[in-house]
Structure 1
Amino acid sequence: MTSPAAATADRTAARESAERHLRALVGRDDAVLREDQWSAIEALAVDRRRALVVQRTGWGKSAVYFVATLLLREAGAGPTVIVSPLLALMRNQIAAAERAGIRAVTINSTNNDQWEPIHAAINNGEVDVLLVSPERLNNPGFRDEVLPRLAATCGLLVVDEAHCISDWGHDFRPDYRRIRTLLDELPTGIPVLATTATANARVTGDVAEQLSGSRSLDEVLVLRGTLDRESLRLGVLRLKTPEQRLAWLADHLASQPGSGIVYCLTVAATSEVATYLRQRGLDVAAYSGQTEAEERHRLEADLVAGRVKALIATSALGMGFDASLGFVVNLGAPSSPVAYYQQVGRAGRNTDEATVVLLPQIEDRDIWAYFASLAFPREELVRQTIEVLAERGTMSTAGLETYVDLSRNRLETMLKVLDVDGAVRRVRGGWEATGQPWTYDAERYARVTEAREREQAAMLAYLDADMCRMRYLRAQLDNPDASDCGRCDNCGGLDLSAEVSQAAVEAAQEQLSRPGVPVEPRKMWPTALANMGIDLKGKITGQASEGRAVARLTDLGYGQQLRELLRDDVPDGPVPVPLVKAVVQVLNDWRPSVDAIVVVESTRRGALTQDLADGLSRYLRVPVIGSFALVDVDVPPGAGATNSAQRVSAVRRRSRLLLDDDSVRGRRVLLVDDQVNTGWTLTLAAQQLHEAGAEAVLPLVLAVQA
C-alpha cells in the first residue's frame, strides 16, 4: 500500500510532468496549469476517473485532454480516442497535438481513403490520439470491427461538445447517443472526459448521469466554472427593415476589430449577404454545410489567418482553439440563449476585446418554427417504420421512404435514435429490425418540446432585456455568481450606432428588390418507386427546363412578402400589385420564349394561380391552353410533401394534364404555379406535357421553399 507521503510525491511529480507537457503544447516557457485544469488532469491521469468539464470557450479544455494523454501514454496506456463533431476543430487539434509531439490522426467522412492505413497504425501502436466524428461510431464496419478493439485498448476516451449527448441540449445529435454504449463497453480503469462550453444545470446533470453508466453518479467529477467571457462586449441593435440591416453591416463591419463571423439562419441568406457585402467592397465569403469540404477548409484557414474580414456563415461553422476573432454578428437570432452563447463564444479568444452584435429579424420565429417541425416523429410513423423493417428485412433509407412518409433527414435521425434504443440496427446495406420491445416516450418528447418553447421565449426576452446581457446569458446557463459585466450595451460599455448611409441602404434596396431565382429541374426519380407500383427509375426523361421564381421564402427581400401571402390563414385572392411588378421584372430579365401557358390547379390558392396565369397571358399575349388539373380531391394538397417517393405517388394520384385540345404539340409552354416545395408537381406536369408533344416546358412560380 502506497504511503500518504509517497502518494503526494507521485502527484507532485505528475503535476511537474504535466506542466512540462503544457509548455510544449502552447509553445511558452512560462505556461502553468490553473488549479481547475490540474484537477481535471489529475482525475483522469492519476485517479483514472470519469470527469465532466463545463467551462467557457478558451478556458483550455483541449490542453486538459492532450496533457492527460501524454501522462497516460508515459504510463503505458493506449491511445486517446476523441469524439468530436467539428472537422475544423479536428484539424486545429491535430496541428496543436503535433507541436507537443503527439501523434494524432482522424477518421471522418472526408478521408475514407486513409482509414485502412490509420487502422494499421493504431494496431501497431503508432497513434497517440484518434479523433473520430460521432457518425463513425455507428458505421457498421467501424462499430463491429474497429470500435470493440478501441474500447478494449484505449487509454482515455474524450467526448467533445458533450451537450450533444443530451436531448435537452440545444444541439442534440442522435449519433452521440452511441457513446453511451461505448461507455458501457470500456474496461474498468479507463478514464473518460466529457467537455462542453454550453450546458445549463439540466444538461449538465443529464450528461453526468450518462457518463456514470452503471457506476454511482458520485464517481463522476463535475468541474463547472464561470462562463463569463471577459473580452466580449454584447449588444442588440433593432433595425426595422432588411435593407437597414444589410446597410449596417456594409457601413460598420470594416470598423470591427480583426476578422470575425456574421451568422445567418439560412443557407440562402449567407449567399445573399455575402454577395451584397462584396459589392460594397468588403472581403467576405459565404460558408455553410453545403460548401464543399476543401473550400470550407480553405475558408476556415483564411479566417484564422485574417485573410478575410468575415465569413458569412450558418451554424455549420465551428472554429477550433487556435481561432482568435474580433467580432461576431448575428443576422437573425438563434432559437435559444444557449445556442447563441455558443456562437458568440467564437469571438474574443486571445484578445482583450471583441464585439458581439445581434440584429434580430421579423422572420426569425418562422425559421425557428420550421426547424421545430423536424422534431421526433409521431408514434404511428415510428411504429410503421419498425413494422416495415420487421416484415421486409434489411432496407436502405431510400427504400424505407417508399413506405414511410418522412423526409430523408428526419427518417435518418429517427432510425439513429431507434438504433440506440435497441429497436433497429444499422447493418451493411441499410437497417434491420431487432425484434426488441420498444416504448414511445411521449412524455419525454413533450417535455423536450416544452423546453424548446421556453428557450425561444427566453431568446425573445434577451432582445428586450434592460439588464446586463452577459449576466442574462449566464443565468440561462445556470452559471452561479453572475454579476453585471460592465461591458455590454445595457451596462454602458458598448455604444452601438444605428446610423446607416443612404448609399448603403439604396444598394441593399436594389439587391433585395431585384426578384428572380432559378428553379432547377429534378433530374433523377426517387429510388425504389417500384415498391409503390410506379414504373419510374433512373434519369428523368421529359424534364422541365430551368425555370424562375420571384424569390425564396427565406430571402431577405421578397421572401417576407411571399411568406405573408402564402400563410395558411391568409385568404385566397389575386396576385398583389407589388408581386405583379416583381413577376414582370423577372420576365424582363429572363425573357423566356414561350407560346402557351398551362396552370397548375390548387385547392388552397386556386384564385391566386389562375390570376397569375391570366395576367401572364395578357402580358405575354399567349393563350392559357390547359391545366395540370385536380382529379382526386381526396388526396390532400400537401400529401407526401416531406418525402420524394411519397410525393411522386401522391401527385400522380391527385393531378393530371388536361388540355383544351391537342394544341400543345410543338409548343414552348410556360408552366405556372404559386410555389415550389419538393419540385415533383412541376416535374410530373412537365413529363406529361412532353408526352403530349410540347417542345419545352419552362416553370414560372412565385416562391420556392428554400
Structure 2
Amino acid sequence: MSEASRRAPPVDNRPHVRAGSGSKDSMVAPGRDTESPEMREEAEGWLRALAGRQARLREDQWRAIHALVAQRRRALVVQRTGWGKSAVYFVATALCRARKAGPTVIISPLLALMRNQIEAAQRAGIRAHTVNSANIDAWERVYAEVEAGDVDVLLISPERLNNPEFRDRVLPELAAGAGLVVIDEAHCVSDWGHDFRPDYRRIRTLLAGLGHDVPVLATTATANERVTRDVAEQLAGADAADAAAPLVLRGELDRESLRLAVVSLSDSTARLSWLAQHLDELPGSGIIYALTVAAATETAAFLSERGHTVASYTGQTDPEERTRVERDLLDNRVKAVVATSALGMGFDKPDLGFVIHLGAPPSPIAYYQQIGRAGRGVARAEAILLPGREDREIWAYFASMAFPDEETVRHTLDVLAEAGGPMSLPRLETRVDLGRARLEQMLKVLDVDGAVRRVRGGWEATGQPWHYDAQRYAAVAAAREAERTAMLDYIATTECRMLFLRRQLDDPAARPCGRCDTCAGTVWSDEVAPEQRRAAAQHIDRPGVVVAPRKQWPSGMAELGVDFSGTIRPERRAAEGRALARLTDIGWGTVLRRLLAEESPDEAIPDQMFDRVVTVLAAWPWQRRPAGVVTMPSRTRPHMITDLAARVARTGRLDHLGGLAYTGPDGAGVRRHNSAQRLAALHQALAVPDELRAGLAGCTGPVLLVDDYTDTGWTLTLAAHLLREAGAEEVLPLVLATRA
C-alpha cells in the first residue's frame, strides 16, 4: 500500500463506514475532475488508517480512486507489486460506502490473498468477509449479512462465480446492489496472460450484467501491452461507447529493492548443497520456489535436516497447515517456506528478504510476479534463480495440459447432448478420454463460450452453436512457447536482468537497474563445501518412494461393462509398494526420465541403478519377506522389466514365477487419460496365464510385482486384484519410477 506499505496500527480517528443501502443516488455525479480536495482529504484519511500515519496517496492512486468514486468509471491499474493497488480499492470502498453505495465485491484468486486483504481491511474498520471452499459453514451467515447491508467487502474466488447455488441465488442480487466490483490479478482474465484461468472469463458475464454506473477496478502487476489491451477491452464490454472507455493507469515496473542474480550449478546435488550453505547468508526470511510438489517437499526435508527452520507449502498441503505456515512466515518464525506456485499471487509480507527459485518458471513474466513477493518494505532483497537441466521437461509436461483437439471437444459436446440431462464429471469420464483436471478445465472454457452449463448434478449442453477457434488456440500455444524461450534467454543474458524483465512486460521506461549481477558484477559463488555436497548426495540417494495402493474403484465402471464399484476389498488390494524415485525428483528422477524416455532403447538397467534397487529392497519395512517375483507385461520395455525381475529374484533368492500377459497383440491399446477408461481397457487386456497361476499356488509368501513405472496406479491395482484372485497371499509393487 503506497510507499508506506508496511504494517502499522490503525489510527483511532479514522472515518466511519456507514452500512450502504445499495442506493447510489447520493454518490458524486460523473464528470467531476480530480481536484475534489475534500474527497482527496477523506481518501488520505482512509489510507492512513490502512497503511500508517505517514502514508500519502500516489497521484495514480488518487486518479484511480477519483475515477471510481466520483465518475463511476471502469479502470485498469497495471503497477508493480507493492505499489499499493489494494489501497486503491479499499479506500474507494470506504468512500463509496460513506455515500450509501452497496458492498464492494472483490474477485480474488487465492485464499492466502483473501486472508491478507481481510486483515488489512479490518485494521481500518472495513468489514470484510469471504466465501470460499475453506469456510463453507459460514456461507449462510455471510449471505445474510450481505443482504442486511452489514458487509462492506465480499471477497470471492472466480470459481465461485459458476457455483450453481451462488450463481443463481446470490450473484444476481450482489451484482444489482454492488457499489464497486474489483478484479484482482486481472491478467488471469486474458488467455494471453501467463496465468490464464478459465474461471476468470466468467467475469465478463458478471460485468455485462452490471449497471453502467457501477464502477469496476481491475488490477495486476504482470500484464504486457497485449494483455493490457485485452483486459481493457473486456472491461469496456461489447456495447461500451468510446466515452466510457476504461481508464488505464500503467506505471514503471522497476523494483528498486531487488537484486537479481542467476547461479548456474552442475546438478541437483549442487543446487541443494548451495541452498544449505547460503540460506543463512540471505536477509530476513523468504520463499524458495520449486516447480513440483515433490521438489518442494524434498528440499524442505533436506534443509530441515541441515538445521534450517523451514516449511513446505504446496497444493497438497492441508488448508489449516497452509494458514499456519503463512503465519509462521509473516511472523519470521521460519527462515524460508519452500513452495510451489500455490504460494503466489497476493501473499503480502512487506519485509520478505529473498525469493529463490529452484528451477525456472516457464515465463519471465511469471518469474517477475513471484520475485515481486520480496522487498516491498525493505531497502534490499535478493532474487536468485538456480536453473536446472530438468526445467524444460517439466515445462513440457505442463504444456501438455493445453486445450484439447477439436475432435475431443466435439465428442464431449455430443455426449452431453445425448445424455438428456446433467452429467457429473465421473460419469462424463467414462465417455471422454481426458483426465479429470483437464476435462474440467475444458468444460469451464466451453461454459464461458456458452456451449455448456454447470448445473446441479453436473454439466449439460446448451445446444448453442460453438466454434473451435483453432487459430487462437495455436496462437496461445505459440505465445507460451515464446515465453519458455524468453526464460532461457533470461538465464543466459549478459545485459541487465531487470531491464530484460521490464522489456518482457513492455515497460516503456525500462532501463538498466545497476543492481543485478550483470550490472554490478557482483555474483554469488557457485562453489559448495564438500561436506554440504556429501550431505545433499546422501539425502538424494535415500532409498525409495512409497507407492500407496488405491482403495476405491473409479465411479461409473458399470457403464463401461466392468463390475467394479466402491471400495476395493482388502483381500484383493495391493500392499504398499516402492519406487526408486519420482520422475519429478531432483536427483534420481533426472536419471529415470532419460532411461524411460520414449526414444530410449529397451535394455537392461545400469548396474548402478540396480544397486539402488537392492538398497530400496533392503530398506523396505515389509511384515513378511517376499517369496516370489512376478513381472508386468510390456510392449515397450519387455527386456528391461524381465531382466530386472530376474536379477531381483537371483539376488534375493526368490522364485521367478513368470508374468502377467496381455490377451491381444495391442496390449491395453491406445493410452487412456482418465481412470475409468484406463481401468476398463486394462480389464479387457490383462490376464493371469496358467503357468503363473500354477506358480502362485506353490508360492508361500508375498510376491513382488515388477514394472518400469506407475502413473495413475490402475495397472498395479488391477494386476494386484488379479494376482490375489489367483492365489497370491500379498502383492508388493516394485517400480523404477512413479509420477505421483
TM-score (norm 1): 0.98
One of 354, 366, 372 as aligned partner of 1:327: 354
User: Is residue 436 from structure 1 mapped to residue 464 from structure 2 by the alignment?
Assistant: yes
Indicate conservation of the 8 Å contact 2:662/2:668, yes or no: no
Aligned length: 702
Distance in 2, matches of 1:598 and 1:9, equals 78
Distance in 1, matches of 2:517 and 2:135, equals 45
One of 635, 649, 652 as aligned partner of 1:603: 635
Q: What displacement does 1:264 show? A: 0.2
SS at match of 2:525: coil
Give 2:4's aligned residue. Answer: none
Indicate conservation of the 8 Å contact 1:50/1:192, yes or no: yes
Distance in 1, matches of 2:561 and 2:618, equals 43
One of 583, 586, 589 as aligned partner of 1:559: 589
Indicate conservation of the 8 Å contact 2:28/2:69, yes or no: no
Q: Against the structure 1 CA distance between its residues 545 and 7, is the aligned structure 2 distance closer, same or farther, given a 3 Å change threshold? A: closer
Deviates more, 1:92-101 or 1:483-492: 92-101
Indicate conservation of the 8 Å contact 1:396/1:431, yes or no: yes
One of 399, 416, 432 as aligned partner of 1:372: 399
One of 309, 325, 345 as aligned partner of 2:335: 309
Distance in 2, matches of 1:667 and 1:688, equals 16
User: Is residue 656 from structure 1 mapped to residue 687 from structure 2 by the alignment?
Assistant: yes
Give 1:645's aligned residue. Answer: 676
Indicate conservation of the 8 Å contact 1:627/1:659, yes or no: no
Give 1:177's aligned residue. Answer: 201
Distance in 1, matches of 2:737 and 2:435, equals 21
Give 1:509's aligned residue. Answer: 537
Q: Which amino acid aligns with 1:653?
A: Q
Distance in 2, matches of 1:359 and 1:248, equals 9
Distance in 1, matches of 2:311 and 2:33, equals 54
Alpha-carbon RMSD: 1.6
Distance in 1, matches of 2:55 and 2:490, equals 38
Q: What displacement does 1:639 show? A: 1.8
Q: Which amino acid aligns with 1:529?
A: M
Q: Which amino acid aligns with 1:21?
A: W
Q: Which amino acid aligns with 2:738?
A: V
Measured against aligned partners, the alpha-carbon deviations of 1:362-407 in whole angstroms (never above 9, x if no partner) come to: 0000000000000001111111111111111211011100000100
Indicate conservation of the 8 Å contact 1:337/1:458, yes or no: yes
Distance in 2, matches of 1:480 and 1:500, equals 40
SS at match of 1:282: coil
Distance in 2, matches of 1:493 and 1:466, equals 10
Distance in 1, matches of 2:38 and 2:257, equals 35
1:65-76 equivalence runs, <5 A: 65-76=89-100
Measured against aligned partners, the alpha-carbon deviations of 1:43-93 in whole angstroms (never above 9, x if no partner) come to: 101110000000000000000000001111111110000000011111111
Indicate conservation of the 8 Å contact 2:348/2:373, yes or no: no
Give 2:505's aligned residue. Answer: 477
Distance in 2, matches of 1:121 and 1:225, equals 37
Q: What displacement does 1:667 show? A: 3.7
Q: What displacement does 1:139 show? A: 0.1
Indicate conservation of the 8 Å contact 2:350/2:375, yes or no: no
Q: What displacement does 1:170 show? A: 0.7
Q: What displacement does 1:299 show? A: 0.4
SS at match of 1:572: coil
Q: Which amino acid aligns with 2:708?
A: D
Give 2:163's aligned residue. Answer: 139
Indicate conservation of the 8 Å contact 1:233/1:494, yes or no: no
Measured against aligned partners, the alpha-carbon deviations of 1:274-300 in whole angstroms (never above 9, x if no partner) come to: 111011110001110100001101100
Deviates more, 1:478-487 or 1:582-591: 582-591
Distance in 2, matches of 1:400 and 1:658, equals 34
Distance in 2, matches of 1:7 and 1:52, equals 19
Q: What displacement does 1:435 show? A: 0.7
Q: Which amino acid aligns with 1:243?
A: T
One of 303, 319, 338 as aligned partner of 1:293: 319
Distance in 2, matches of 1:3 and 1:190, equals 12
User: Is residue 237 from structure 1 mapped to residue 233 from structure 2 by the alignment?
Assistant: no
Q: Which amino acid aligns with 1:55?
A: Q
SS at match of 1:625: strand
SS at match of 2:219: strand
Give 2:7's aligned residue. Answer: none
Q: Against the structure 1 CA distance between its residues 165 and 7, is the aligned structure 2 distance closer, same or farther, given a 3 Å change threshold? A: closer
Distance in 1, matches of 2:221 and 2:530, equals 41
Q: What displacement does 1:496 show? A: 1.1
Q: What displacement does 1:320 show? A: 3.1
SS at match of 1:663: helix
Give 1:697's aligned residue. Answer: 731
Give 1:33's aligned residue. Answer: 57
1:588-627 equivalence runs, <5 A: 588-590=618-620, 592=622, 593-627=625-659
SS at match of 1:474: helix
Measured against aligned partners, the alpha-carbon deviations of 1:286-344 in whole angstroms (never above 9, x if no partner) come to: 11010000110110011111110000000000343344200000000000100000110
Give 1:352's aligned residue. Answer: 379
Deviates more, 1:570-579 or 1:174-183: 570-579
Q: Which amino acid aligns with 2:720?
A: A
User: Is residue 340 from structure 1 mapped to residue 344 from structure 2 by the alignment?
Assistant: no
Q: Which amino acid aligns with 2:576?
A: E
Q: What displacement does 1:217 show? A: 5.9
Give 2:300's aligned residue. Answer: 274
Q: What displacement does 1:662 show? A: 2.0
One of 722, 725, 728 as aligned partner of 1:688: 722
Q: Which amino acid aligns with 2:142?
A: I
Q: Which amino acid aligns with 1:178?
A: R
Give 2:561's aligned residue. Answer: 533
1:140-155 equivalence runs, <5 A: 140-155=164-179
Give 1:426's aligned residue. Answer: 454
Indicate conservation of the 8 Å contact 1:264/1:312, yes or no: yes
Q: Which amino acid aligns with 2:385?
A: L
Q: What displacement does 1:638 show? A: 5.4
Q: Against the structure 1 CA distance between its residues 278 and 8, is the aligned structure 2 distance closer, same or farther, given a 3 Å change threshold? A: closer
Give 1:549's aligned residue. Answer: 579
Q: Which runs of 4+ in 1 moved over 4 A?
A: 6-10, 635-638
Indicate conservation of the 8 Å contact 1:78/1:154, yes or no: yes
Distance in 1, matches of 2:293 and 2:706, equals 26
SS at match of 1:664: helix
Indicate conservation of the 8 Å contact 1:81/1:156, yes or no: yes
Unaligned runs of 5+ in 2: 1-26
Q: Against the structure 1 CA distance between its residues 187 and 591, is the aligned structure 2 distance closer, same or farther, given a 3 Å change threshold? A: closer
Deviates more, 1:213-222 or 1:224-233: 213-222
Q: Which amino acid aligns with 1:567?
A: A
Distance in 2, matches of 1:437 and 1:146, equals 29
Distance in 2, matches of 1:11 and 1:32, equals 16
Q: What displacement does 1:663 show? A: 3.0
Q: Against the structure 1 CA distance between its residues 588 and 34, is the aligned structure 2 distance closer, same or farther, given a 3 Å change threshold? A: same
Indicate conservation of the 8 Å contact 1:526/1:645, yes or no: yes
Give 2:144's aligned residue. Answer: 120
Indicate conservation of the 8 Å contact 2:32/2:71, yes or no: no
User: Is residue 576 from structure 1 mapped to residue 582 from structure 2 by the alignment?
Assistant: no
User: Is residue 227 from structure 1 mapped to residue 253 from structure 2 by the alignment?
Assistant: yes
Give 1:19's aligned residue. Answer: 44
SS at match of 1:414: helix
Q: What displacement does 1:530 show? A: 0.9
Q: What displacement does 1:591 show? A: 5.8
TM-score (norm 2): 0.93
Indicate conservation of the 8 Å contact 2:631/2:642, yes or no: yes
Q: What displacement does 1:493 show? A: 6.0
Unaligned runs of 5+ in 1: none
Distance in 2, matches of 1:448 and 1:701, equals 37
Give 2:15's aligned residue. Answer: none
Give 2:389's aligned residue. Answer: 362
Distance in 2, matches of 1:638 and 1:488, equals 50
Q: Which amino acid aligns with 1:424?
A: V
Distance in 2, matches of 1:599 and 1:635, equals 15
